[in-house]
Amino acid sequence: MNLENRTSRRGIVWLSVLLLFVVLMVLANEMTDGERFYGVAPIVVIALAVVGLLQVYRATWDYQGWGLGTRQVRGLTVGTALYATVAVIFTGVLDLSVGPVALRPQVCIPILFGYAFGPVVGFFSGAVGSLLGDFIAGLGVFPAWHIGVGLMGLTPGLVAGYSGRGRDPSFVSNLVVVTIAIAASIVFLHPRVPGPWTGEVQNFSFWGWALVVGGLVMLANSLLLEDVSVILAAASLWGTLGILVGNGFAALAHVWINEYSLTTALIGEFAPSAATDILNLVVFTPIVLAGYRATRRRGRLRR
């Protein structure tokens, strides 16, 4: 199969994955007993996200990781099921949260699966896993969040292909550190904004410090792991970049969907969710990776 045919086939696969996600989201929206999306704003946000993701493919069409073979399909299935299962446990059964922000240890799943299997698997396992988890838990459908979680998995899958596994990740490290520093500075400069969940003016300076601490822990963790596990170091850095991209998308989308002010979206929503997800990534990534490796070893022994 020549390069042109392979490129065309990958584009069709990516478009099919995006359309399948949209169809599942619409069906879940019709069937849920929880929160629904309606009106022009969420539909336009979904459409813009699909168009943008297609443009991302067009800009990176030469990356072989866009392929979807048997190995990727297995990863996609397992990643989606794992995310949905853990999401139900933590949001439906244990009902754990940090303030109004859900404790989401499952964010490491699409990040690791995106790194291991490519951007298609990372996006699908995050977006559809998030959709299924919220639907099963009876929470409803939240388009911006589902797309945002998908971006968390897509980003490391894409960056991994262009950065080269095992090579110097200093550019990504610097980008992540600068982004976290800017976000924390915005919180410190303007900490009091209407909360996105209550509308009451709240002081979010705690989440500025949480971003700083999360960023420092992530950076220290990555530097220490470079001598122990290149995979964990890369997943920590690129996963953090994915978290910033995904939460940034969701927060900005809610400026239109939920009519938040820009300061409320960035300070009241982005800062708490990004800080919590970064800490979850650092803590739970080694656990998920260890479980994945143990499962693979058992599979080899059985064969």
Give 139 or 147, the one with higher predicted confidence: 147
- Residues 83-122 have pLDDT tens digits of 999 988 887 555 444 445 567 889 999 999 998 899 999 9
Q: What is the pLDDT of residue 175?
A: 83
CA 2/CA 126 separation, integer angstroms: 31
Contacts of 132 (CB under 8 A, 6+ apart): 28, 80, 83, 84, 87
* 202 bridge partner residues: 193
Alpha-carbon distance of 109 to 113, in angstroms, equals: 6
Query: By mean pLDDT, which of 36-50, 57-71, 132-146 is the weakest?
Result: 57-71
Secondary element (H or E) of residue 296: helix 271-302
State the Cα–Cα distance between residues 251 and 243, nearest whole angstrom: 12
**Residue 34 gets which letter from DSSP?**
S
pLDDT digits (tens, 9 = 90+) for 225-274: 666 666 777 778 889 999 999 999 999 999 999 999 999 999 999 999 99
Question: 157 near 245, Cβ under 8 Å?
Answer: no
